[in-house]
Amino acid sequence: MQLVVMKFGGTSVGTTDRVMVVARRLIEAKERGDRVVAVVSAMGDVTDDLLALASGISDAPPEREMDMLLATGEQVTIALLAMAIHSLGHRAMSFTGAQAGIVSDASHTKARIQAVRADRVLEAVEGGAIAIVAGFQGLTPEGEITTLGRGGSDTTAVAVAAGLGADVCEIYTDVDGVYTADPRMVPAAVKLDIVSYEEMLEMAAAGARVLQLRAVEFARNHGVVLHVRSSFNDSPGTIVREADETMEHAIISGVTHDTSEAKVTIRDVPDRPGVAAAVFGRLADSNVNVDMIIQNVSEAGSTDISFTTPKEDLVRATRAVEEVVAELGARDWQVDETVAKVSLVGAGMKTHPGVAATMFRALADAGVNLSMISTSSIRISCVIEAAQVETAVRALHTTFGLDSDAVTAEISPAAGGNLN
């Protein structure tokens, strides 16, 4: 008897009709003889609507209260789904994050799961019920409700799967799997059958929101194999697991984009030891995530520092920057919210020089200007103007031979690739 964890995202439970569809799918799994644990998100745009309600009250609400508010979204879904299963003549029992034993740290709105004490969930499935766990929420050891950051239900699912030693962890969503680019932006994108944890980590970090970054980290750390698939059909999706020699090795696995970040520049910062520590120390103290960082060449004893940060952290970031600018005697600071990040991800980059040059050439030919560049061993990211993001992603997808009509995933010299 297998133990399966099945996670359904917001669109998949967006209406009561969809909740009934999910209920039937869970019952089917149960009737196959599996022990079934469902993890669900808030319905449709509920989390966005709750955020909008909060911003109608304050531009920087206390984060503890934000979590109180946001955690209600998932609680609605678990109750409705349990009712749906009951209405179809089967047993189900819903659990909030707290009841499901999801223990997190106290960093409100982006808490990390520290432990899963899922005894009650296990008891429910052992007793023959379908257990339904609210995604995206946890409880600190002090008893405070937390949320796990946008997309956090994915992480709940993986953590529950790891905690229960599940045989299968399926992430049901509104696309058929992980694609070579967001299929909503690039119609020629291709579904990947298998992706390594390493590549999926980079894709998630670079904006492919189909899986939350922390979910992939958790899966890798605990060896949980993920199956990302559609809740709208039965097609096999994408397996995310440890790389091995049986995997195909495309040089580039995907092109990702992210328009959720803003760029902050602090101008004329004195160029002396401790300045970067002061800036980024203050941002960290303010619970602000920082992604890319650039420090310009020093001129006349001062320099500019730019960084990107999620727009949702911007109010806190600008408060922190304001203070630090005054303390350091920097000239001023500015925020640019009209930026986007495009990234190329592929394990083959490690062994194929020339990928960066091909990428920059493709973007230049498409008339796209680069304002920041960062790399890891298997990713190259560029910050560009938000208005050009679609042009940039499509140009890269074509240049690197990823379009669905392309015969090979390798870069062909004809496409401008110069790899060796």
List of residues contacting ligand ADP (CB under 6 A): 9-12, 41, 151, 173-175, 178-179, 181-184, 208-210, 254
Indicate the residue among 152 and 163 with the shorter CB distance to ligand ASP. Answer: 152
**Start-to-end Cα distance in the chain:** 51
Q: How many CA atoms lie within 13 A of 79 on its CB side?
A: 5
Is 152 one of the binding residues for ligand ASP (CB under 6 A)? yes
Encoding tokens for residue 181?
């680019």
Report in angstroms how near the CB of residue 60 gets to ligand ASP at its nearest: 19
Query: Which H/E stretch holds residue 3?
Result: strand 3-8
In angstroms, rounded to a whole number, what is the distance separating the alpha carbons of residues 187 and 343? Answer: 18
- Residue 254, contacted partner among Mg ion, ligand ADP, ligand ASP, none, CB below 5-8 A by kind: ligand ADP
Among 14, 97, 151, 348, binds ligand ASP (CB under 6 A): 151
Provide the β-strand partners of residue 263: 308, 336
Indicate the residue among 73 and 101 with the shorter CB distance to ligand ASP. Answer: 73
For residue 367, is it left (φ>0), alpha (ψ between -120 and 50) or beta?
Answer: left
Helices 153-164 and 119-126: angle between axes, nearest 10 degrees: 70
Report in angstroms how near the CB of residue 173 gets to ligand ASP at its nearest: 10
Report in angstroms how near the CB of residue 210 gets to ligand ADP at its nearest: 4
Compute, in degrees rounded to 10, the torsion defined by CA atoms 196, 259, 232, 164: 50
Q: Which of 199, 206, 208 is nearest to 241 (CA)?
A: 199
Question: Which residues are CB-contacts of 70 (< 8 A; sequence separation ≥ 6)?
Answer: 47, 50, 51, 109, 136, 137, 147
Report in angstroms how near the CB of residue 117 gets to ligand ASP at its nearest: 21
Indicate the residue among 73 and 163 with the shorter CB distance to ligand ADP. Answer: 73
- One symbol per residue from 145 to 184: x for binding Mg ion (CB under 5 A), - otherwise; what is it? ------x---------------------------------
Among 34, 37, 73, 158, binds ligand ASP (CB under 6 A): 73
In angstroms, rounded to a whole number, what is the distance separating the alpha carbons of residues 136 and 155? Answer: 7
Cα 287 from chain centroid (whole Å): 18
Cβ–Cβ under 8 Å, residues 164 and 102: no
Q: Which one of the spans 39-47, 55-63, 355-363, 403-411 is the region binding ligand ASP (CB under 6 A)?
A: 39-47
Indicate the residue among 109 and 238 with the shorter CB distance to ligand ASP. Answer: 109
Helices 213-222 and 197-205: angle between axes, nearest 10 degrees: 160
Among 12, 94, 153, 253, binds ligand ASP (CB under 6 A): 153
- Residue 73, contacted partner among ligand ASP, Mg ion, ligand ADP, none, CB below 5-8 A by kind: ligand ASP
Cβ–Cβ under 8 Å, residues 361 and 380: no
Report in angstroms how near the CB of residue 216 gets to ligand ADP at its nearest: 13
Is 97 one of the binding residues for Mg ion (CB under 5 A)? no
Is 96 one of the binding residues for ligand ASP (CB under 6 A)? no
Binding site for Mg ion (CB under 5 A): 9, 151
Binding site for ligand ASP (CB under 6 A): 9-10, 41-42, 47, 73, 135-136, 150-154
